[in-house]
Chains A and B, each alone.
Chain A
Amino acid sequence: MSTGTTKLDVVVSDVVPINDLVTRFHFRRRDGALLPTFSGGAHVVVEMRDGQRTRLNPYSLMGSPLDTREYTISVRRDDAGRGGSLFMHRNVRPGMEMVISYPVNLFSLDLRARKHLMLAGGIGITPFMAQTAQLAAGGGNFELHYTCRTASLGTYADVLRERYDRRVRLYHDDRDERIELDRLLSSQPLGTHLYVCGPSGMIGWVCDRAAALGWPAETVHFEHFAAPQPGAPFDVMLVVSGKTIRVDEQQSLLEAIEAAGVDPPYLCRGGVCGQCETNVISHDGKFIHNDHWLSEEEHRSCRKIMPCVSRFEGRSLVLER
């Protein structure tokens, strides 16, 4: 099958600043039709035409899945990032025509759960916006614990409190408020599923404590918001397509491969779905693996790389692509 997903031609219908760091973007279909239905936790890949470059960044859909007149995403500005969020904040205006992918869900609710326990950190709140809307509409049982740096950076905290009242609990870093994780995880009814989305440290902490407290792995769900990290430039030889390419400091390996006119499959562009997995033919140097797809053993073997988030430092790298 061809790469990625089916595309949607959309127009930016609104741009709403939420706080110092986060702006919300609304998309409608250019032909006025309804957008495809989606499920809570789904993301779309937004294509950004930034001069000569095409950036493809995934963002969680945060509107209600029951309303498909428009899609909404929230983008946190990352001044030290590779520029995708800055492009969204600086260049995207209402009326602009853009292309986004069909929704893909790699952070799905387990509908068998008797209760959904959700833990969000910072901008990791966005998939829970859609999931709570979906669950609330169907009478689902959920509880959301949301940590943010300060009240003014608590994106949508007010909206969530107003919608769901005591089902939402807020924690502010500047007031030294902390989730009492062990107590929370030890006091859940049988059949509870745990969902966590936020910074890597938080995900690791929650998953480790859940495992230590005896939560079955099938009941713990997480979504890493791993954007590709910038790094030193490196050269790569693609043997199947017969090309040698340079990966710039601000570019991911996957983006460099695409810029050379080669179309590997992808879905998440964040190191979790496994679609762009690529075999290493030979190398002389060191891999910087940033993905959550390959096992530690595979990382050590140096025989595979996930080009969406991982990089390389050294003299030569030859890939089967």
Chain B
Amino acid sequence: MGITFRKETFRDDFTFRNSPEHIRRFPFPFHEDSYMYAVNIEPHVVGPKGSVLENLIDVDEHYVAEMQDRALVLAEDPLRCQSLPHMTLAGWDLLELLMEQQALGYPEHFTLTRDGDRWRWINRPLGIDDSFTFGDVSTLPYGPMEYITRQSQGDFCILDQRDGNLWMDAGMVTTQADWSLDFDIGMNFFEWHAPVPLAHEKGIFTRALKFLTNIQQGKPARRLNWTMTVNPRLDTSPENYHKWGPDRATVTPENVGEKVHLRVELQSFWRLPRSNGIVFPIRCYLIKMDELVTQPKWARRLHRVIRDLPDELANYKGLTRYRPTLVEWLSKLDDGSPTSPGFGPD
């Protein structure tokens, strides 16, 4: 039995919804009733059936619609996908990783056949059946990174590792929480994290870099990050701020449940074998407040987290303007009773 892919939009009429099964599998990011930065990295190993960790590269009911939205973003702004000249080999590494993982997890939707360099890739949801020579760029319609990331949910940053640092030298970034690949391309780990408040003082980036540069082949790692977005818009880029920034002034007590979305990023980190680079997939999951509060534990906990969030973080995450409205709305769903430990719904 395969996935039933939804027909939906992430712009204009915003028809994005989660099915009840997808609400329950949502990667709720708070394991307790408060939130502060931590180096919350753990091994990226397969998790429970029915969770977003059932496969290491997750494909869900939004796959087809997300790929259509990505194509629209790229048509308007091709600089969302960039790869510096020395990163082509890493692009092939990523193509291999994503084809292998998607074919492994979803054989009814994807098939990869390899005969030496002669590869055949079948992507049934998108109607693709391509034969090509692995390593020969001229046999694909796009470069290897662009080709496969037009067929994979989430943003992808490929980091070159040299001089004890990581460098943002390639990426496909169309579903981002207000950062720009075109701005960050070529920067190192400390440069592109410069705008993040509080974490530098805690030495978090120094420790995180040490960990990431030691990520080993066959041992990927992951962490969750989160923010909030008004309207289920995947493309909240600085380039399009004029389109989504004003949305934040449209939240009212009446429309919170429909308009405000928790946005969770499942970030994973993988060593790439040929290039010795690191790929950093940033997979975005959206859930509207109306959907989230169908799980009473999540409603209570989110209320407490948002209410008690330090102002610097609320500001960085862009919540300041509508936070009072949201907290007021959520408070009605919080009877003050304790929440059970762990992330999952009760």
Contacts and interface: CB of A to CB of B under 8 A. Distances in A.
Interface of A: 1, 5-6, 36-39, 41-42, 65, 102-105, 108-112, 134, 138, 218, 267, 273-275
Nearest to A7: B218
B200 interface: no
B217 A103 contact: yes
B221 A1 contact: yes
Contacts of B160: 111-112
Interface string B66-87: 0000000000000000000111
Contact of A104 (B43, B93, B163, B216): B216
A36 B216 contact: no
B273 interface: yes
7 closest Cβ pairs, A-B complex: A37-B273, A111-B86, A6-B218, A108-B276, A39-B276, A112-B86, A5-B216
B40 to A, nearest CB: 13
A134 B214 CA distance: 23
Contacts of A138: 89
Contacts of A274: 210
Name the interface size band of chain B.
20 to 34
B214 A273 contact: yes
Contacts of A134: 274
B161 interface: yes
A137 to B, nearest CB: 8
Contacts of A39: 273-276
B118 interface: no
Contact of B162 (A41, A110, A275): A110
Contact of A5 (B96, B219, B273): B219
B168 to A, nearest CB: 14
Nearest to A104: B216
A111 B163 CA distance: 13
B274 A102 contact: no
Contacts of B276: 39, 41-42, 105, 108-109
Contact of A102 (B85, B86, B87, B217): B217
A112 to B, nearest CB: 4
A112 B162 CA distance: 10
Nearest to A137: B135
Given A1-B221, A111-B89, A218-B162, A37 B274 contact: yes
Contacts of B216: 5-6, 102, 104, 267
Nearest to A107: B276
Contacts of B163: 218
A134 B273 CA distance: 12
A6 B96 CA distance: 20
- Of the listed residues B85, B87, B210, B216, the one surrounded by the most CB atoms of chain A closer than 10 A to its CB is B216
Contact of B214 (A38, A41, A108, A275): A275
B162 A102 contact: no
A228 B212 CA distance: 27
B43 A65 contact: no
Interface string B185-228: 00000000000000000000000001000101111010000000
Nearest to B87: A111
A1 B217 contact: no
Contacts of B86: 111-112
A36 B219 contact: no
Contacts of B214: 267, 273, 275
Nearest to A37: B273
B273 A6 contact: no
22 contacts: A1-B43, A1-B219, A5-B216, A5-B219, A6-B216, A6-B217, A37-B93, A39-B274, A39-B275, A39-B276, A102-B218, A103-B217, A105-B276, A108-B161, A110-B162, A111-B86, A134-B274, A218-B162, A218-B163, A267-B214, A267-B216, A273-B214
A103 B162 CA distance: 17
Nearest to A273: B214
A196 B298 CA distance: 56
A102 B217 CA distance: 7
A181 to B, nearest CB: 23
A110 B93 CA distance: 16
Contacts of A267: 214, 216
A6 B43 CA distance: 12
B188 to A, nearest CB: 11
Given A36-B218, A112-B86, A218-B163, 14 more contacts: A1-B43, A1-B221, A5-B219, A6-B218, A36-B273, A38-B273, A39-B273, A39-B275, A104-B217, A105-B276, A108-B162, A111-B160, A267-B214, A267-B216
Nearest to A8: B218
A6 B275 contact: no
A218 B161 CA distance: 12
Nearest to B93: A37
B147 to A, nearest CB: 19
B325 to A, nearest CB: 42
Nearest to B221: A1
Given A111-B86, A138-B89, A5 B274 contact: no
Nearest to A218: B163
Contacts of A275: 214
A29 to B, nearest CB: 13
Contact of B219 (A6, A38, A110, A111): A6
B225 to A, nearest CB: 19
Interface string B260-276: 00000000000001111
Given A38-B273, A108-B162, A5 B218 contact: yes
A138 B43 CA distance: 33
B95 to A, nearest CB: 13
Contacts of B162: 108, 110, 218
